[in-house]
Structure 1
Amino acid sequence: MSNQVPSEFIDLASKLADAAGEIIRPLYRKKIEIVSKDDLSPVTIADQNAEMAMRKIIEAHYPEHGIYGEEHGQVRTDAEYVWVLDPIDGTHSFISGAPTFATLIGLTRNGKPVMGVIDQPISGERWVGANGETTFNGTKIQTNADITDVQTASLFSYGIELFKSVKGPQYQKLTETVRRIRFGYDSYAYALLSQGFVDIVADADMKPFDYCALVPVVENAGGQISDWDGNPLTLTNPGYVLATGNSALHEATLDVLKS
């Protein structure tokens, strides 16, 4: 079965990103209420309203499609096509005034991510991955194919919480192997990887709305993304995520994590 994404779906994804951005931008670096969810992660009216705006557009255009959102739940997730939405990935960054958060819009077909959008509404940066290519603001981009040795690679991760995770010892070994490390970039790190500026991104506790948009952006730019055991990421296997700029580096990084 072909996973070619119809152009009208790609166009709709851009409309979703535009709609979310119109809500998010006026609230950026403003004093707004911050609420803690059950898992103690923060949420704001910007998250909630941006997702609701995107959901309304999807329902108006494709009521038969499923929706899997971070803030307003799931509907029709057994549908052939499911839109996976994270209105503000990196809410900690957003409420801190740091422009490293992003709106994530993924589309899965039979559970497999086939299209992804990473949109930074403050800087006006948009990465779109589908149908064999990833673009940055309309220009085709590629990952770095030259870095294949973990010892010469850069590693980006969400935060130092990874050291305390179940796979903390494996992550510790990876940090001791790479050339340099940076923390706190959220999904923005995956966008930079797709442009060849970052070599490895490793994260934990990722949900489908955290990674479904990232998969097509990374893969269509020439990179590789999986869980830490090398398994493909689908709508139903959240957890540890590893992205690299090329397949050789991916295998080498998996070897470090498994050793």
Structure 2
Amino acid sequence: MNEAEFIEISDFMNLLADRSKVITLEGFNSNLTLKVKDDGSPVTDYDINSEKTLREIISAKFPNHNIIAEEMGFTSNNSDYTWIIDPIDGTRSYVIGRPLWGTLISLAFKGEPIIGMADFPALDERWIGYKNKCLLNNAAFKKNYKSITSISEATVGSTGPHLFSEIGKQKYETLIKKAKYHVWSGDCHNYCLVIKGGLDLVVEEGLSSYDILPLIPILKSKDIIVTDWKSKKINLKNDLFSKYSVVVARDKNIHDTAINYMN
């Protein structure tokens, strides 16, 4: 992707996020009708309506591209390009009025996410990442971090214990006993807190492709380390509905320490 293509795709992503934002903010802090999916996770009409709208806009502009999203699954056009969408990541936060939910959008080429967006409508915060470009509300994001290289100095976060397997939870609990501070909750916003400097490490298990892949280009644009628990690169898997275990850290020593504890 060259600079002109980046501008075209990022402008298109902003359009997608703007359209989704109108839909999702209408339902936020309202009397929601909540449904529970087969996997036990909640869904609202606003999740579904947002995804329908995004799919329609993408299909109109890029009719040959694939789409994978949380509510309606995979649409294959045998393309090397795949749009990955989570209309409301953090629906539990959304339904209780906590503003940390976000809309995640990514374009992947041959399984590798090349540009990603995380939009937080209730926070008026929008991130885009591509190569070494990290944009917050369409302006370059720059941050000087305090040098933290030890797990004993680190603040660690994860969405919740319900996402971990029993073995994974035991390993994670051992890890966080070594940390300076630990927080539950935060959903996809936790990853942006690693960029901002509020968190030093995020560890999660049981994620779907649309939960993590859109965030990867944003994180990598600030040289943040993103791997699975085996320290391997994360791409879209051939089994599109596989689950992902993730370690995200600014510092390599902290990342490697987490890998050791989670294996």
User: Shared fold (TM-score greater than 0.5)?
Assistant: yes
CA distance in 2, matches of 1:3, 1:164: 41
CA distance in 2, matches of 1:167, 1:160: 9
Aligned-pair CA distance for 1:116: 1.0
Q: Mapping of 1:89-100 within 5 angstroms?
A: 89-100=89-100
Aligned-pair CA distance for 1:48: 0.4
Q: Mapping of 1:141-156 within 5 angstroms?
A: 141-142=142-143, 144=145, 146-156=147-157
Aligned-pair CA distance for 1:109: 0.8
Letter in 2 for 1:207: S
Partner of 1:252: 257
Q: Could you give the per-residue CA deviations for residues 48-83 of structure 1, whole angstroms, max 9, x where no partner exists?
A: 011111111111111111110101111127421111
Letter in 2 for 1:81: Y
CA distance in 2, matches of 1:54, 1:91: 17
Structure 2 runs not aligned, ≥5 long: none
CA distance in 2, matches of 1:196, 1:83: 29
Partner of 1:204: 205
> Is 245-254 or 171-180 further displaced after alignment?
245-254
Q: Could you give the per-residue CA deviations for residues 87-142 of structure 1, whole angstroms, max 9, x where no partner exists?
A: 00000000010001100111111001111111001121011111212121123235
Q: Mapping of 1:1-259 within 5 angstroms?
A: 6-76=6-76, 78-137=78-137, 138-142=139-143, 144=145, 146-161=147-162, 165-236=166-237, 238-258=243-263
CA distance in 2, matches of 1:98, 1:88: 13
* 1:104/1:118 contact within 8 Å kept: yes
CA distance in 2, matches of 1:232, 1:38: 30
Instruction: State the SS of the aligned residue for 1:85.
Output: strand
CA distance in 1, matches of 2:245, 2:157: 14
CA distance in 2, matches of 1:166, 1:78: 37
CA distance in 2, matches of 1:235, 1:78: 15
* 1:159/1:183 contact within 8 Å kept: yes
Structure 1 runs not aligned, ≥5 long: none
CA distance in 1, matches of 2:94, 2:77: 28
* 2:34/2:42 contact within 8 Å kept: yes
CA distance in 2, matches of 1:215, 1:134: 11
Aligned-pair CA distance for 1:188: 0.5
TM-score, normalised via structure 1 length: 0.93
* Compared CA separation, residues 16 and 153, structure 1 to 2 (3 A): same
Give the number of equivalent residue pairs.
Answer: 257
Q: Could you give the per-residue CA deviations for residues 201-226 of structure 1, whole angstroms, max 9, x where no partner exists?
A: 11111000100111111111120111
* 1:102/1:120 contact within 8 Å kept: yes
Aligned-pair CA distance for 1:241: 1.0
Percent of pairs with identical residues:
29
Letter in 2 for 1:242: V
RMSD: 1.9
Letter in 2 for 1:98: R
* 1:145/1:245 contact within 8 Å kept: no
Aligned-pair CA distance for 1:29: 0.7
Instruction: State the SS of the aligned residue for 1:24.
Output: helix
Letter in 2 for 1:228: W
TM-score, normalised via structure 2 length: 0.92
> Is 144-153 or 13-22 further displaced after alignment?
144-153
* Compared CA separation, residues 125 and 134, structure 1 to 2 (3 A): same
